Amino acid sequence: MSHRIRPATPADRPRLLAIQSASLASTWPELLETAITGPGRVLVSGHTAVGYALAVGSDPTHLAELAVAPGHRNAGRGSALLKAVLDDGDDCRLTARADDERARRFYERHGFRVDRFLPNHYEHGDGVAMVYQSDDRS
């Protein structure tokens, strides 16, 4: 199934903030707000936003957030959003909760590897830094 991926617009703001709140344990609404109109890239899945990827910088790109609304998960939307970020050809970095095996496996399936352990990175737990090198693509 093909998912339509497009840049976010200011009209997407309320829906994206709702997805962020429903999907992420730690939210940073100001980062999302700034990235919608500012220096970051926010890619959206669907005509009506049902998921988003927030990426900042380039080579390496930092994937700050990837979220899909409940009810739209496990249908390839997260993978499509991640692929759209990686299609720029830059290396990519992200952080994930060390105890979130599901997220780590998802990123590993897409070519990321754990680079280092980040003790006390999150308010209530450790993190891992993960990296994707664009020349690792098959």
* Degrees to nearest 5, angle at CA 13 with 29 and 39: 70
Measure the CA–CA gap between 13 and 29, rounded to whole angstroms. 10
Concatenating the DSSP letter of every residue in 88-135 gives: T---EEEEEETT-HHHHHHHHHTT-EEEEEEEEEETTEEEEEEEE-GG
Structure confidence at residue 2 (pLDDT)? 67
pLDDT at 128 over 90: yes
For 25-80, what is each residue's pLDDT tens digit? 888 899 898 888 877 789 999 889 999 999 998 889 999 999 999 999 999 999 99
How much of the chain exceeds pLDDT 90, in percent? 72
Concatenating the DSSP letter of every residue in 76-92 gives: SHHHHHHHHHHTT---E
C-alpha 69: how far from its chain's center? 13
Mean pLDDT score of the chain: 91
